[in-house]
C-alpha cells in the first residue's frame, strides 16, 4: 500500500528521478535517421512544422512525382500504411481513397472519404519503412491501393506544398522525430481527465442543476457539464440568454463548489445583426473573410446569416480570442470550438438558385430523374465545396482563396483562443478542444472525433483513429461516448463506456431529439456508474501516461505491431491497442456479444472488473484466447511484468486521494509515475517523476 499527499506520493516510498528536458534538433541524424524537407512550387505557410529545417535540393526519395502535385509509391504486398489521423477504415489504411478536406459529416459510413480533420502524415512499414508529411492546406487525395491495389497516389490540388521524409530505426522512432518538428502537444488541466456529461438540449440553468444533482445523489463522479448552443442568445458567440440562464456566473460558482466545471461551446460563424458588438467590431476592423468583390462574405449556420472571422489574419485572431474573456470572467475555464471547418449550411446565391430550380422541378410531373435532382440539390446546400471558392483570407496583405487554406481554419480558431487565454490567464491552463483541425493544432488544444452516431461500429472506428491521431500529436482526444446522433441503448452505452474510460477525453454527448443518455436514464445505473468510478481509479495512470507522451513526443496509444514488430499476427490486429507501456485494451463493439477473441503477443495479466474494488486477475500465455465479458464487466490486460497505479475513486479529480494509490499488476513490478499540480500553465515547472514499487 502506498501513502501520499495531494499531487505526489510521499518520497519515502519512491526513488525521485530528476527530469531533464531534451532539446529538439532541427535535423536528427544517426544510424539511417534523418528528416529531409522538399519544397515544391510556392507553398503557403501552414505553421504545422515549428522547427526550422533547411530544404534539400536532392531528389525526393521513395516517391515519383509528375510535377503537378501527384506523388506515386509502389506498394509491396507486405507494406502496411499507418497514419492520416482522423480517418475511417482501420489502422492499416490500405485499400481506400481518403481526402483531406475538413468536412462536417456526422454519417461516418465506410464510403466516407473526409472527416473533420486533415492530418497528412503517413508511415509506411514494409520493404521500406519511413514517414512522410505532405504539408498542404488545401484539398489532398490519398489513394492508398484503392484504384490499383499495389499503388499509392497522393495528389494535391496544386503543386505548391512541402514534403518531409523521415527515416529512423523503427516506427516509434520515426513518429518521435516527426513529433519533435511539429512541437509539443497541448496538456489540459487535470480536471479535464474526469467524466463529462453533455447534451445539445440542456436549455436552461435548471437543466444543468438537475444533471449535477442526479449524479451527486447517485454517488457517481463528475468533473464537467457542457453547454451546447442553447445557452447563447439566439446562437450569438460570447452572449448568454438571460431568460434561460439568468446568472451564468452564479451557476458556474455553484457548480465549482461541487467540483464541476462548465464547458460552453463557441462556434465559428458570427451572426450578422446590428447592435451586436462582435459583429459590428469585426466589420469595422475588417476582421471577417471577404468575398470576391471585397465585401464581407456571407454564409449561413445556426444563427442564419453569418460572417466568418479571418483566423489566418493575426490581428483578427487576437481580437476573436480575447472575446473568450467574456466567459472566463464568469468563472468558465474550458471551451469546445465547433462548426469550424467552417461548416456552411448554405450561401444565399446557391439557396436562391436551388429554390428556383425546385420550382421548375415541382411544376409538373416529378418523375424519378426530377426527384433525385430535387433531393440532391437540397442535400447539396450543406457544405457545398463550391462555396469555399467564394471567399478569401488576408494573408500578409494578399487575398488568398479559402479553398487553398481550408484545412487551416479550425486550427487557427483554436489557436486564437489558446494564445489569448495564455495572455489573459497566464498562470493556469484552460481546457480547449476543437472539431476541425490540421497538423499543428495539437499545440493549442485537443480534438474530439466529431459528430458520430450511436452505432456499434463507431466504437471501433474511434479506437482505430487513436494511434494515427497520436502520431500527428493529438493526445487529448476521444469520441462522443454513447454516440451523438441516433438513439443509444443500455448495452451500447455500457460497452462504449468500457472503451471510452481509457481515452483522455471522456465525454457522454448526444443530440437534441435523440434518446436521453445521461447514465441515470438507464435501469442499470449501478453498472454504468461503476464504470465511471473505475475511470477515476485509473486517472493516476492515464494522466501519468499522457504527460509522458506529451513531454517525450511519444504515443499514448499504439498498434500492437509497434512494440512487437516481428510478430506477424500482431501486424494484423486492428481491434486491440497498447495504452502506455503497461496496458492493452480490447473493447467489445458488437451487439449482444458476451465476450471476444483476443491475441496476446506476450504473456499478460487479464483483469476482470465489475467495480473498482471487486476484480479478478488471471495470467494468460502468449497466443489466441476467447475472453468472456459480461455486460457489466470491464476487461483489460496488463503487460508481462508490468503494473499500474490504481486509486480509490473520488467525486472529482480534485478529490483524488493520492494516499490510496496502489500498484495493480505483476508482483515485484514497479511504475514510473509522472505528476504535476494539474493546473499550472507550464506543466514542467511542477513536474515530479517518482518510482512506485
CB 180 within 8 A of CB 51: yes
Query: Distance (Å, rounded) from C-alpha 125 to C-alpha 122?
Result: 10
SS3 at position 572: helix
Q: Which helix (H) or strand (E) holds 198?
A: none
Residue 590 per-residue DSSP state: S
Set 338, 404, 480, 530: catalytic member:
338
Set 173, 341, 553, 676: catalytic member:
341
- DSSP string for residues in 314-345: HHHHHHHHHTTHHHHTTT--EEEEESTTT--S
Query: Distance (Å, rounded) from C-alpha 7 to C-alpha 645?
Result: 13
Give, in degrees to the nearest 5, the angle at Cα 526 between 525 and 528.
60
CB 313 within 8 A of CB 287: yes
Comparing CA positions, the residue from 584, 592, 599, 601 lying closest to residue 635 is 584
Is residue 341 part of the annotated active site? The answer reads yes
Residue 42 per-residue DSSP state: -
Comparing CA positions, the residue from 187, 245, 276 lying closest to residue 678 is 187
Residue 297 per-residue DSSP state: P
Tell how strand 140-144 and strand 195-197 pair up: unpaired
CB 418 within 8 A of CB 324: no
Query: Distance (Å, rounded) from C-alpha 693 to C-alpha 691?
Result: 6
Q: List 415's β-bridge partners, or say none.
A: none
**How many Cβ atoms from other residues are within 10 Å of residue 367's Cβ?**
9
Give the position of cell 454519417. Answer: 107
Where b means 16+ CB within 10 Å and e means fewer, 133-171 reads: bbbbbbbbbbbbbbeeeeebbbbbbbbbbbbbbbbbeeb
Q: List 37's β-bridge partners, or say none.
A: 164
Task: Name, in order, each residue with C-beta under 8 angstroms of 49's C-beta and a sequence gap of 6 or more.
Answer: 133, 135, 162, 164, 181, 182, 440
Is residue 338 part of the annotated active site? The answer reads yes
* Exposed/middle/buried for residue 365 (C-beta within 10 Å: 0-12, 13-18, 19+): exposed
Set 241, 451, 518, 563: catalytic member:
451
SS3 at position 557: strand
* Exposed/middle/buried for residue 322 (C-beta within 10 Å: 0-12, 13-18, 19+): middle
Residues identified as active-site: 338, 341, 451
Amino acid at each position: 500500500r502506498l501513502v501520499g499527499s495531494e499531487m505526489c506520493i510521499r518520497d519515502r516510498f519512491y526513488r525521485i528521478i530528476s527530469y531533464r528536458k531534451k532539446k529538439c534538433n532541427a535535423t536528427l541524424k544517426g544510424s539511417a535517421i534523418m528528416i529531409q524537407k522538399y519544397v515544391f512550387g510556392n507553398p503557403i505557410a501552414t505553421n504545422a512544422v515549428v522547427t526550422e529545417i533547411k530544404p534539400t535540393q536532392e531528389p525526393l526519395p521513395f516517391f515519383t512525382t509528375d510535377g503537378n502535385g501527384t506523388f506515386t509509391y509502389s506498394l509491396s504486398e507486405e507494406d502496411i500504411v499507418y497514419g492520416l489521423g482522423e480517418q475511417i477504415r482501420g489502422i492499416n489504411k490500405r485499400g481506400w481513397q481518403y481526402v483531406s478536406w475538413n468536412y462536417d459529416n456526422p454519417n461516418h459510413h465506410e464510403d466516407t472519404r473526409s472527416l473533420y480533420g486533415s492530418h497528412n502524415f503517413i508511415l509506411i512499414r514494409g520493404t521500406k519503412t519511413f514517414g512522410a508529411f505532405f504539408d498542404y492546406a488545401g484539398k489532398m487525395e490519398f489513394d492508398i491501393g484503392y484504384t490499383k491495389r499495389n499503388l499509392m497516389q497522393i495528389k494535391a490540388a496544386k503543386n505548391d506544398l512541402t514534403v518531409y521524409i523521415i527515416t529512423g530505426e523503427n516506427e516509434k522512432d520515426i513518429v518521435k522525430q516527426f513529433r519533435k518538428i511539429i512541437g509539443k502537444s497541448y496538456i489540459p488541466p487535470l480536471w479535464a481527465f474526469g467524466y463529462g456529461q453533455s447534451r445539445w438540449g440542456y436549455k436552461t440553468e435548471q437543466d444543468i442543476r438537475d444533471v449535477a444533482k442526479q449524479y451527486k445523489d447517485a454517488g457517481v463522479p463528475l468533473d464537467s457539464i457542457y453547454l451546447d448552443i442553447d445557452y447563447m442568445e439566439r446562437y450569438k458567440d460570447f452572449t448568454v440568454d438571460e431568460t434561460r440562464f439568468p446568472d451564468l456566473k452564479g451557476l458556474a460558482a455553484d457548480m465549482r463548489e461541487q467540483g464541476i466545471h462548465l464547458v460552453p461551446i463557441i462556434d465559428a460563424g458570427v451572426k450578422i445583426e446590428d447592435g451586436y458588438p462582435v459583429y459590428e467590431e469585426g466589420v469595422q476592423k475588417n476582421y471577417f473573410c471577404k468575398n470576391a468583390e471585397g465585401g464581407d462574405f456571407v454564409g449561413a449556420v445556426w444563427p442564419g446569416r453569418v460572417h466568418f472571422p479571418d483566423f489566418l489574419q493575426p490581428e483578427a485572431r487576437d481580437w476573436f480570442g480575447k472575446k473568450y474573456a467574456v466567459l472566463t470572467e464568469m468563472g468558465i475555464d474550458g471551451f469546445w470550438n465547433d462548426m469550424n471547418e467552417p461548416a456552411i449550411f448554405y450561401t444565399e446565391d446557391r439557396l436562391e438558385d436551388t429554390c428556383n430550380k425546385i420550382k421548375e422541378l415541382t411544376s409538373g410531373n416529378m418523375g424519378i430523374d426530377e426527384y433525385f435532382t430535387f433531393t440532391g440539390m437540397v442535400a447539396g446546400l450543406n457544405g457545398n465545396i463550391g462555396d469555399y471558392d467564394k471567399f478569401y483570407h488576408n494573408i500578409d496583405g494578399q487575398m488568398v482563396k479559402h479553398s487553398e487554406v481550408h484545412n487551416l481554419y479550425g486550427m487557427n480558431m483554436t489557436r486564437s483562443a489558446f494564445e489569448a487565454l495564455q495572455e489573459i490567464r497566464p498562470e493556469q491552463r484552460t481546457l480547449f478542444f476543437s472539431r476541425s483541425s490540421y497538423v499543428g493544432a495539437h499545440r493549442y488544444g485537443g480534438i474530439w472525433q466529431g459528430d458520430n452516431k450511436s452505432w456499434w461500429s463507431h466504437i471501433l472506428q474511434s479506437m482505430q483513429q487513436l494511434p494515427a491521431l497520436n502520431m500527428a500529436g493529438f493526445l487529448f482526444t476521444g469520441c462522443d461516448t454513447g454516440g451523438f446522433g441516433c438513439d443509444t441503448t443500455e448495452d451500447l452505452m455500457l460497452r462504449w463506456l468500457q472503451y471510452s474510460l481509457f481515452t483522455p477525453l471522456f465525454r457522454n454527448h448526444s443530440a437534441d431529439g435523440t434518446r436521453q443518455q445521461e447514465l441515470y436514464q438507464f435501469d442499470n445505473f449501478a453498472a454504468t456508474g461503476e464504470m465511471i468510478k473505475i475511470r477515476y481509479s485509473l486517472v493516476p495512470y492515464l494522466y501519468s501516461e499522457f504527460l509522458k507522451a506529451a513531454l517525450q513526443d511519444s504515443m499514448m496509444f499504439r498498434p500492437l505491431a509497434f512494440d512487437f514488430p516481428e510478430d506477424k499476427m500482431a501486424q494484423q490486429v486492428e481491434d486491440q491497442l497498447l495504452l502506455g507501456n503497461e496496458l492493452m485494451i480490447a473493447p467489445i463493439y458488437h451487439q449482444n456479444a458476451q465476450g471476444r477473441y483476443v491475441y496476446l503477443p506476450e504473456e499478460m495479466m487479464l483483469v476482470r472488473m465489475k467495480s473498482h474494488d471487486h476484480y479478478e486477475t488471471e495470467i494468460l500465455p502468449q497466443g489466441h484466447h476467447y475472453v468472456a465479458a459480461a455486460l457489466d464487466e470491464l476487461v483489460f490486460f496488463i503487460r508481462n511484468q508490468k503494473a499500474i497505479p490504481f486509486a480509490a475513486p473520488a467525486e472529482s479529480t480534485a478529490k483524488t486521494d493520492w494516499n490510496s494509490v496502489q500498484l495493480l499488476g505483476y508482483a515485484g513490478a514497479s511504475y514510473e509515475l509522472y505528476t504535476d499540480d494539474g493546473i499550472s500553465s507550464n506543466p514542467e515547472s511542477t513536474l515530479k517523476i517518482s518510482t512506485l514499487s
